Each structure stands twice: as C-alpha cells, then as structure tokens.
Amino acid sequence: MLRFRTAGESHGPCLLALIEGIPYGTPVVTGPLDAELARRQGGYGRGARQGMERDSVEILSGVRHGLALGGPIALRVANRVRNSEELAPLTCPRPGHADLAGAVKFGTADARGVSERASARETAARVAAGALAADLLGRFGIRVLGFVVEVGGIAAAREIGDPGELERRRDASPFYSLDPEADGRIRALVDEVREAGDTVGGVFEVRAFGVPAGLGSHATWEGRLDGALARALMAIPSVKGVEVGLGMEAARRRGSRFHDEILPREGGGWRRSGNNAGGIEGGMTNGEPVVLRAAVKPIPTLRRPLRTLDLRTGEPAEAAYERSDVCAVPAASVVGQAVVAFELARAFLAKFGGDTFEETRERFEAFRKRREFFGR
C-alpha cells in the first residue's frame, strides 16, 4: 500500500517525509518536487517566513541512480529558521489555532510545542510526498492541477478544460487563478485587508485529468475514493469544507438536473452529458476528470490581535502575533494538489501496482486494452 508519514516542527532542523509503496524501478527525480515546493512558497499575500526559506528536497534513502529501490523513500526539506529551542513559551493561545485545544489535551500552559507541529509549515513535507506521487501518475498520462477559484468572496473563472492551458494560465497568475481580470480585484482586496491588520480566506479547486475509470471501491466505506480524497483535503490546516463535483449545489437540484446521463458516442462507446458528479460515482472514478474544491478559512494569526486568555493567570490578554500570511489560499491550492495526487496514486497502485514499475505499466496497459473492447 502506498502511504506516507511526516516528521518535523516549524522551527526545528528540518521536515521529513517517509513514503512507502513506490514500486521498484520507478524514476525519482527532485526537479518536479522542488518546483512544487517553490510554488507552495509563492502567491500574493504570503508572509515574511517565505522569504527566509528556500525549500528543496534532499533524498536520504530509497533511491539509487534515480530509480526507486522498492523500500521506504525518505525526503528531507531543511528549515533555515531553526530556533525552536530559543522560542518563548506560548501562553496566550491564538483563536483559530491548535493552541488552546492542544494545551488542554496535554495539560500545559505552554502551547509552543503544539503550535510547532500544528503549523502549516509541516505541509512542505506533504507537498514533497504529493509531488513524488504526481510525477508517478504523470508517467501514466494523469495530470493533477490545483488552482484558486475564490478569495474573500471574489470569484475567478474556472471553466478551462484543457490541462495544458489551465496550467499555463494558473502559473501566470500571482494568485494561481485562471482569471487575470479577477486577479486585479483580488489584489486590491488583499492589500486592503493587510492595511487593516486582518486576513482573508477563499476556495481552491483540484482537477485530475486522464484518470482511468475504476479506481477506488464501492464495497467498503473505507475503500470509497471520494471519502479518502475528502479526508486528505480536510486534513490540510485551515481547510473547513470540501466538495466533490457540484458539491453542495447537488442538494438544490432535482435528479434530472444533476445526474450525468450516459449517451452513445460517435464511433462507438459512450460519453457523459456532463460532470456534475466530479468524476466519482459509487466511490469509484468513472473516467471523467476528478473535480474537488476546498474552502480555506482566513489565517488566524492577525496583526490586529484577537482577544484571548493567559493560560498561566486566567486573565484577559491579546493573542500573540508572529510572522503570518494575509492570504494563504494560493499556497493551500498547492498542498491540495499534492494530497489529491497522493490519494489518486494510492488508488492507482492498489489497482495496477506490481512489485516493479514495469509490472505496473504492463497491468495498466492490459487494462487499457480491455477498456478499448468496451469502446471507451
């Protein structure tokens, strides 16, 4: 089974990702991983920390001559800011952070240890693991792309069906959106919010193109792919809601206006009338692009402090302000792309994976030929 774990703290020596289940002989290169780490640090509205770090991946184990050895692959992302031992106690918990819940959980008045691990800095390790998974998927014609569709209530256009054009448009935007006109209005909003000492959230979307039908399972609740994808997205710091396909809009439509009809395709086979289901039916991919969205709350560390209590005295206090973003939705879209790629790669290898990369390719090609029999 493909899986990963992370280790490390925000201001410790490094972050680590340990990935298990990559087939022997799979090409592993750091270029795509470093590119995604750089994108995670980008986007308009980021804080000072991003200028202090220059994230890149060091492969510690599991790869030889650029090929996976079949065992665990350890990736290291160094922290340039490594002052964890010198940081002052965090006794005034910040609303919206893990500070208060973690302090109560561990029975301490100092939430610093909780905040160090709960920090979104940890997502750099998730991005490294997800970029490795995305590179694997790309070798089978599957592309996973995350982009921003809304910031602070300002919606950006998202109807681009060609993945190449989508990626080009996204990478030209300071907000990783597909809408240059909306970017100007979003920039003005972010500047206004920064001046007010406040923060702003938004929504990102992840689309996966070229995903074969049949990934996931209908047979058990934990095997349902939409559930796994939703969990992966909800586990990103600041994400408060997830939609698949039309999501919440499905509740407002009649069945005749929601379900994607199955129609004959010219030359044989079938086509769908739309993709309201977001590429997943019955817990399995159906051959259409996988489409998910996630809502990102405003960053809870504000330059204009929120009210809190001092855990040592119980007296009213102001939440501490530390380096923070005004808008982290672009960065969240990079993390979202990474975790979706990893879950899709997990499902892909569960269906097609063998001990080696070539064995996996053979199984995938055999499946494709079988699908051609059905005229898909």
Residue 53 is predicted with a pLDDT of 65
Query: Mean pLDDT across the stretch 111-134?
Result: 97
Give the number of other CB atoms < 10 A from CB of residue 143.
18
Contact 262, 287 (CB under 8 A): no
| Strand, helix or coil for residue 325 | coil
- Domain 3-373 -> CATH class: alpha beta
CA neighbor of 120 nearest in space, from 11, 281, 30: 11
Burial class (CB in 10 A: 0-12, 13-18, 19+), 359: middle
Q: What is the pTM of this model?
A: 0.96
CA neighbor of 2 nearest in space, from 111, 137, 123, 138: 137
- Which one has a higher pLDDT value, 357 or 266? 357
pLDDT at 232 over 60: yes
Tokens 């998927």 locate to 137
Burial class (CB in 10 A: 0-12, 13-18, 19+), 353: buried
Question: For residue 230, what is the enclosing H or E element?
Answer: helix 225-234
With both helix axes pointing from N to C terminus, report the angle between 123-138 and 329-352 in degrees, rounded to the nearest 10: 50
Extract the tokens encoding 342.
């990893």
Cα 142 → chain centroid? 16
Distances (CA, A) of 52 to 78, 168, 303, 333: 12, 27, 19, 21
Residue 359 is predicted with a pLDDT of 98
CA neighbor of 126 nearest in space, from 223, 57, 228: 57
pLDDT single digits (tens) 60-79? 999 999 999 999 999 999 99
pLDDT single digits (tens) 269-284? 889 999 999 999 999 9
Residue 315 dihedral angles phi and psi, to the nearest 5° = -85, 150
Query: Mean pLDDT across the stretch 275-301?
Result: 96
d(CA 173, CA 157): 13
Least confident of 190-199, 318-327, 343-352: 318-327
Residue 293 is predicted with a pLDDT of 98
pLDDT at 330 over 60: yes
pLDDT at 163 over 80: yes
Contact 285, 212 (CB under 8 A): yes
- Beta strands, E only, 279-364: 280-281, 284-285, 290-296, 307-309, 316-318
Distances (CA, A) of 3 to 64, 65, 132, 237, 345: 20, 23, 12, 19, 10
Buried b or exposed e, range 10-42, using 16+ CB within 10 angstroms: bbbebbbbbbebbbbbbebebeebbebbebbbb
Contact 327, 44 (CB under 8 A): yes
pLDDT at 49 over 70: no
β-partners of residue 291 are 207
Contact 29, 128 (CB under 8 A): no
